[in-house]
């Protein structure tokens, strides 16, 4: 059971929550629930398997640095509980499964998935060591999920939705870096060398810039689509500010914050319920 748990941990299934971004285009597009459910599973699983494949590859490259991190040192590869060759085999199996599932959805969806894999793997190998580019590459992963969702459900992604998702993704990526920098303190560079290139004040500036841009872009997006959705803007504003508050405590990973902070989780559920009632009433 311990061996099985190690391999499950290697997949980071809690991070699959990010793949719910695939639902943004059909959700905002007003597609009926049965249509969304019918097309959701292969799209979601293909991106989830692809994401787990990239997480394994990233852990293979980072296993030595992860040993200097308070929590990441407990990852299976960092501890040595899973050997690198076996992890590589698992990554290969996930890659094949992701490709097969994506090909069921459509050729264009498969193209987005391949692009996501290339971007994620290039991040693990190179881009995470390049200041500022690392934040943009992290943000691109969120955007690619939304674009792939539009393709999977045959819903065009509007310019405003693209812009909103991009600046929110930039906000989350900056928060992730700032949270790491605060949490690790003087040992930050030992865990991730790129953190030596950042300062707390600079990342705070990026965070507030992206938060402001996110709120403006979202407000303009909802006004352009449904006036009633304007009432969800205060909910979004609270969510942004709450995330900044949590980041300042040294917690920045978006998925972990969503799952662990009841204020952000409640805000997300209330926001989704309000948007759903407005669009589907």
List, for residues 248-275, the tens digit of each pLDDT value.
998 878 888 888 899 999 999 999 999 9
- Domain contains 280: yes
Q: Is 80 exceeded by the pLDDT of residue 34? A: no
For residues 62-86, average pLDDT: 79
Taking the C-alpha atoms of residue 140 and residue 131, their distance in angstroms, rounded to an integer, is 15
With a pLDDT cut of 70, the percent of the chain lying above it is 97
Q: Which domain holds residue 197?
A: 158-281
Judged by average pLDDT, the poorest of 73-82, 114-123, 181-190 is 181-190
Taking the C-alpha atoms of residue 150 and residue 156, their distance in angstroms, rounded to an integer, is 6
- Domain contains 47: no
Question: Contact, 46 vs 113, CB < 8 A?
Answer: yes
- Domain contains 264: yes
Residue 238 — pLDDT band, cuts 50, 70, 90? very high
- Domain contains 240: yes
- Alpha carbons within 13 angstroms on the beta-carbon side of residue 218 total 25
Whole-number CA gyration radius for the chain: 19
Q: What is the pLDDT of residue 54?
A: 94
Q: What is the pLDDT of residue 190?
A: 67
**6 or 207, higher pLDDT:** 207
Distances (CA, A) of 73 to 65, 91, 118, 120: 8, 20, 26, 22
Question: Contact, 210 vs 241, CB < 8 A?
Answer: no
- C-alpha 79: how far from chain center: 25
What angle is formed at CA 148 by the lines to CA 228 and CA 281, rounded to 5 degrees? 25
Taking the C-alpha atoms of residue 218 and residue 162, their distance in angstroms, rounded to an integer, is 10
- In the chain, the N- to C-terminal Cα span, in Å, equals 47
Judged by average pLDDT, the poorest of 64-68, 107-111, 161-165 is 64-68
Q: What is the pLDDT of residue 189?
A: 64
242 CB-near residues (< 8 Å, 6+ apart)? 261, 263, 264, 267
Q: Is 70 exceeded by the pLDDT of residue 135? A: yes
For residues 135-151, average pLDDT: 95
Judged by average pLDDT, the poorest of 8-22, 69-83, 88-102 is 69-83
- Domain contains 246: yes
- Domain contains 89: no
Q: What is the pLDDT of residue 89?
A: 93
Tally of structural domains, the chain = 1
- Domain contains 209: yes
11 CB-near residues (< 8 Å, 6+ apart)? 52, 55, 56, 94
Which residue's entry shows tokens 């972990």?
256
Which residue's entry shows tokens 């841009």?
213
Taking the C-alpha atoms of residue 237 and residue 163, their distance in angstroms, rounded to an integer, is 17
User: 233, 272, 264: which is closest to 247 by C-alpha?
Assistant: 264
Residue 175 — pLDDT band, cuts 50, 70, 90? very high
Residue 66 — pLDDT band, cuts 50, 70, 90? confident
- Domain contains 66: no
Q: What is the pLDDT of residue 195?
A: 83
Q: What is the pLDDT of residues 180-232, one digit of tens each?
A: 888 877 776 666 778 888 889 999 999 999 999 999 999 998 888 777 889 99
Stated pTM of the model: 0.91
Q: What is the pLDDT of residue 79?
A: 83
With a pLDDT cut of 90, the percent of the chain lying above it is 56
Structure tokens at 214: 């996110």
Helices 84-105 + 2-11 axis angle, to 10? 50
Q: What is the pLDDT of residue 133?
A: 94
Q: Is 90 exceeded by the pLDDT of residue 167? A: yes
Report H helices in the chain.
Answer: 2-11, 24-29, 33-66, 76-79, 84-105, 107-125, 133-152, 159-184, 188-191, 200-225, 233-247, 254-260, 262-280
């Amino acid at each position: 059971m311990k061996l099985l748990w190690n391999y499950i941990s290697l997949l980071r299934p809690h991070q699959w929550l990010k793949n719910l971004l695939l639902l943004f285009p059909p959700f905002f597009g007003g597609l009926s629930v049965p249509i969304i459910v019918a097309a959701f599973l292969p799209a979601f699983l293909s991106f989830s398997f692809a994401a787990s494949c990239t997480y394994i590859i990233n852990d293979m490259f980072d296993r030595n640095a992860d040993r200097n991190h308070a929590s990441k040192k407990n990852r299976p590869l960092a501890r040595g509980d899973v050997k690198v060759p076996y992890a590589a085999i698992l990554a290969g199996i996930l890659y094949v499964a992701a490709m097969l599932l994506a090909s069921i959805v459509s050729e264009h969806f498969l193209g987005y998935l391949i692009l996501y894999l290339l971007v994620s793997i290039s991040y693990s190998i190179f881009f995470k060591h390049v200041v500022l580019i690392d934040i943009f590459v992290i943000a691109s992963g969120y955007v690619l999920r939304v674009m792939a969702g539009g393709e999977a459900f045959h819903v065009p992604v509007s310019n405003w939705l693209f812009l909103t998702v991009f600046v929110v993704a930039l906000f989350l990526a900056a928060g992730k870096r700032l949270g790491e920098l605060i949490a690790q303190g003087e040992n930050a560079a030992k865990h991730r060398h790129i953190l030596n290139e950042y300062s707390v004040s600079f990342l705070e500036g990026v965070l507030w810039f992206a938060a402001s841009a996110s709120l403006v872009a979202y407000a303009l997006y909802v006004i352009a689509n449904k006036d009633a959705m304007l009432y969800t803007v205060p909910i979004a504003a609270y969510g942004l500010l709450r995330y900044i508050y949590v980041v300042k405590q040294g917690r920045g990973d978006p998925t972990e914050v969503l799952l662990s902070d009841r204020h952000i989780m409640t805000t997300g559920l209330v926001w989704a319920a309000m948007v759903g009632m407005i669009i589907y009433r």
